């Protein structure tokens, strides 16, 4: 320490990232320090990172350290910002409705929420407005948020006195050694680890978005609380942009586009059971065609198994014990049957029709299998979550030492497929669920196999504890919809159980029977879900190869109808999905209609085109491309279709 003055003058040195170092007296808060070094930095900072930990700006500095300010642009900064907003929400609710118990109120990806128990007096959507007004008032009051460290006993006593039963439960569940902290702003105090903004006035724009139910601690056996969702931004413009994003997302909603583009429908007569319209089924068949080509190349054999199979088969597979509440049942000739919720038992029956040498494995059997699952009514969601869907399934029967290669093969295939459509995806490893069968050793073995595969290839993933299939752990591939909600699509499930249950075998090099290992896997996942995600991903503007109508011929007057018919015939016979709009409407009208229907190519034919045997090409995105020789255009569009552009 450079100072040779008295010990009252002890100073600590703070390294401020991107600024330099500063010496201050111990006990100086970060806020004071920043005010000293740069008012601009102080204004932008929402929190700080000291030696890696996020702390509030009112934290006193006690020793030498490196410090980095955190702004709204940092994910952690936005979290702190919105976490404080959630406290302001809770305070506002407490002010308006005294008789309410608090649940939890964390920040989430685009905002925050807070759960409340209104004790039998649920609030309504309209009430959000006045709560929001009270929040604005609290922001205006610019109340400082004070961090309090208290003992477990103090905390319990305080929240018991306040009647905050949920908070008491949370405190009781905290580990012994954990520091208990609360944050106080004005008359409001909440159990919270923080950190928070220094004061409520730091919040600029708060907005409540919607009201929903949520079980206490996410458990359906617990009380249903009311959850208020909101968001907060430092600038009005950012909120407007976010609301615009939500608005745009609504336009891309596959349920809306499905209706507008005439792709599919749902009916009260069959909730959760999708109806594919002619245009929708075209897209699906193209996806399937691509799928068959790729699977054929990758050495898969295609099979098809029945939708209804005897109940006994499902008892043997474990579905009866572990999956019954999701299954539909029926009777045939007095015998109990089940509608298949999965394709595996069918594939296994086929496997069992033969004897296999170790040289025959891996045996890859693919099936576009229609399954039915009884999903709870509240979970249905357009094509994303339905009660009947087709899985692009495959079951790979293999030797234990083939696990790595086969998993790798499937992972590569998933990657190749998703890249064709330009999807970003992320991976989860799901482990043993509560309701499952098999020994701990087998689960351990299977889970380790998958995990070490991912680790070995340096593939980033997150672990989804307890979300595996009842017969084995799985690697899941998730895609995002237009609202950035994620949906599981591809999955690879490693299974040692079914081969055991069904007594599957192959003959090894030693001439003895051995147990094969099974891989259950899907690439698209469910055709319905993948289709829905594709619709939202493309906003309904499908690439040429998938477009239900690839080109519309638009004659300008009746005099071009003969030529239009000729053009149509030529393209149609080459396999192009082409229509003619020969209504007596103006060109502009027909073009508008084709644009709205997102048809990739419009071929305008007037007198000039008839005389020169050309078509005036208008491309969906690029607009008018001018006249092109009919033969040249035909070759071009066929080329693009074949390249799956």
Name residues contacting RNA, limited to 406-465 (CB under 7 A): 433
Q: Are 615 and 633 in contact (CB under 8 A)?
A: yes
Among 1, 25, 178, 224, binds RNA (CB under 7 A): 224
Active site residue 393: yes
The interface mask with RNA, positions 580-609, x = CB under 7 A, is ----xxxxxx-xx--xx-----x-x-xxxx
Among 124, 177, 354, 422, binds RNA (CB under 7 A): 124
Among 251, 359, 419, 485, binds RNA (CB under 7 A): 485
DSSP symbol at 223: P
Among 230, 382, 473, 548, binds RNA (CB under 7 A): 382
Among 196, 373, 568, 577, binds RNA (CB under 7 A): 373
Q: Is 391 in the site for RNA (CB under 7 A)?
A: yes
Set 253, 393, 476, 581: catalytic member:
393
- Judged by CB, which is closer to RNA: 51, or 222? 222
The interface mask with RNA, positions 548-567, x = CB under 7 A, is --------xxxx--------
Characterize 145-177 residue by residue with b for buried, 16 or more Cβ atoms within 10 angstroms of its Cβ, and e for exposed: bbbeebeeeebbebbeeeebebbbebbeeeeee
CA distance 344 to 243: 44
- Judged by CB, which is closer to RNA: 361, or 479? 479
Q: Is 343 in the site for RNA (CB under 7 A)?
A: no
CB of 198 to RNA, least distance (A): 30
Q: Is 214 in the site for RNA (CB under 7 A)?
A: yes
Active site residue 520: yes
Can you name the residues that pair with 15 across neighbouring β-strands?
A: 21, 66
- Judged by CB, which is closer to RNA: 31, or 547? 547
Among 72, 166, 453, 487, binds RNA (CB under 7 A): 487
Collect all residues with Cβ–Cβ distance below 8 Å to 535 and sequence separation of at least 6.
Answer: 252, 254, 257, 258, 263
Angle at which helix 630-642 crosses helix 561-573, to 10 degrees, equals 30
Nearest of 349, 381, 382, 388 to residue 365 by alpha carbon = 349
| Residues in region 20-59 near RNA by CB under 7 A | none
CA distance 602 to 31: 62
CA distances for 567 relative to 153, 555, 578, angstroms: 85, 11, 9
The interface mask with RNA, positions 130-149, x = CB under 7 A, is --------------------
Active site residue 184: no
The interface mask with RNA, positions 261-300, x = CB under 7 A, is -----x-x--xx----------------------------
| Residues in region 77-106 near RNA by CB under 7 A | none
Q: Is 231 in the site for RNA (CB under 7 A)?
A: no
- Stretch near RNA under the rule CB under 7 A, chosen from 120-128, 196-204, 327-335, 628-636: 120-128
Collect all residues with Cβ–Cβ distance below 8 Å to 354 and sequence separation of at least 6.
Answer: none
CB of 625 to RNA, least distance (A): 8
Order of strands, edge to edge, in the sheet holding 335-339? 308-310, 335-339, 328-332
Q: Is 122 in the site for RNA (CB under 7 A)?
A: yes
Set 94, 474, 568, 590: catalytic member:
474
CA distance 580 to 629: 18
Dmax (CA) for the chain in angstroms is 103
Give how many residues touch RNA by CB under 7 A.
Answer: 79
Can you name the residues that pair with 328 across neighbouring β-strands?
A: 339
Q: Which residue has the tokens 């809306």?
A: 256
Active site residue 373: yes
Order of strands, edge to edge, in the sheet holding 188-191? 146-150, 180-185, 188-191
Nearest of 85, 8, 489, 486 to residue 287 by alpha carbon = 489
Set 391, 402, 493, 560: catalytic member:
391
Set 227, 385, 520, 577: catalytic member:
520
User: Residue 205, SS3?
Assistant: strand
Among 13, 64, 146, 467, binds RNA (CB under 7 A): 467
Active site residue 165: no
Active site residues: 344, 373, 391, 393, 395, 474, 520
């Amino acid at each position: 320490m450079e100072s040779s003055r008295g010990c009252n003058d002890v100073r600590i040195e703070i390294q401020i990232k991107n600024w330099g170092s500063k010496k201050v007296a111990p006990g100086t808060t970060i806020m004071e320090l920043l005010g000293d070094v740069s008012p601009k930095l102080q204004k932008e900072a929402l929190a700080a990172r000291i030696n890696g930990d996020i702390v509030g700006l009112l934290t006193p500095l006690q020793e030498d350290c490196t410090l980095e300010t955190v702004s709204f642009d940092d994910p952690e900064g936005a979290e702190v910002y919105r976490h404080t907003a959630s406290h302001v929400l809770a305070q506002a609710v407490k002010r308006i409705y005294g008789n309410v118990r608090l649940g939890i109120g964390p920040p989430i990806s685009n905002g925050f929420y807070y759960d409340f128990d209104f004790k039998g007096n649920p609030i309504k959507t309209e009430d959000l407005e006045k709560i929001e007004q009270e929040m604005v008032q609290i922001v205006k009051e610019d109340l400082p948020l004070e961090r309090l460290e208290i003992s477990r006993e103090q905390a319990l006593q305080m929240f018991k006195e306040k009647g905050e039963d949920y908070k008491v439960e949370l405190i009781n569940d905290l580990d012994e050694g954990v520091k208990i902290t609360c944050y106080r702003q004005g008359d409001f105090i909440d159990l919270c680890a923080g950190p928070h903004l220094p004061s409520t006035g730091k919040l600029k724009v708060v907005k409540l978005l919607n009201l929903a139910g949520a079980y206490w601690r996410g458990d359906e056996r617990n009380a249903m609380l009311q959850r208020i969702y909101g968001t907060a931004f430092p600038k009005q413009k950012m909120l407007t942009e976010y609301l615009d994003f939500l608005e745009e997302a609504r336009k891309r909603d596959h349920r809306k586009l499905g209706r507008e583009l005439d792709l599919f429908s749902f009916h009260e007569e069959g909730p959760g059971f999708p109806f594919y319209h002619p245009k929708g089924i075209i897209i699906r068949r193209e996806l399937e065609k691509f799928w068959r080509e790729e699977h054929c190349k990758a050495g898969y054999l295609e099979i098809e198994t029945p939708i209804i199979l005897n109940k006994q088969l499902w008892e043997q597979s474990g579905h009866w014990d572990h999956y019954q509440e999701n299954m539909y049942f029926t009777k045939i000739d007095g015998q109990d049957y089940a509608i298949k919720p999965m394709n595996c038992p069918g594939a296994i029956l086929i496997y069992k029709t033969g004897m296999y040498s170790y040289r025959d494995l891996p045996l890859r059997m693919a099936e576009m299998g229609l399954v039915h699952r009884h999903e709870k009514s509240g979970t249905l969601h357009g094509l994303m979550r339905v009660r009947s869907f087709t899985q692009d399934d495959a079951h790979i029967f293999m030797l234990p030492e083939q696990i790595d290669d086969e998993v790798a093969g499937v992972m590569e295939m998933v990657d190749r497929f998703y890249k064709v459509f330009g999807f970003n995806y992320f991976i989860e490893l799901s482990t043993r669920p509560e309701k499952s069968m098999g020994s701990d050793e087998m689960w351990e073995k299977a889970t380790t196999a998958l995990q070490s595969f991912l680790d070995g290839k340096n593939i980033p993933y997150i672990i989804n504890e307890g979300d595996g299939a009842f017969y084995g752990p799985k690697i899941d591939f998730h895609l995002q919809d237009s609202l950035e909600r994620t949906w599981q699509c591809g999955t690879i499930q490693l299974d040692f159980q079914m081969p055991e249950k069904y007594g599957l075998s192959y003959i090894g090099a030693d001439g003895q029977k051995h147990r094969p290992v099974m891989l259950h896997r899907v690439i698209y996942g469910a055709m319905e879900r993948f289709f829905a995600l594709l619709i939202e991903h493309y906003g309904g503007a499908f690439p040429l190869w998938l477009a239900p109508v690839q080109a519309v011929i638009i004659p300008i007057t009746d005099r071009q109808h003969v030529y239009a018919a000729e053009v149509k015939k030529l393209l149609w016979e080459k396999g192009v999905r082409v229509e003619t709009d020969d209504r007596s409407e103006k060109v502009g009208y027909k073009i508008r209609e084709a644009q709205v229907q997102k048809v990739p190519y419009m071929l305008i034919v007037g007198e000039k085109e008839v005389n020169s045997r050309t078509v005036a090409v208008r491309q969906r995105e690029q607009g008018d491309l001018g006249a092109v020789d009919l033969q040249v255009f035909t070759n071009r569009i066929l080329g693009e279709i074949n390249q799956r552009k």
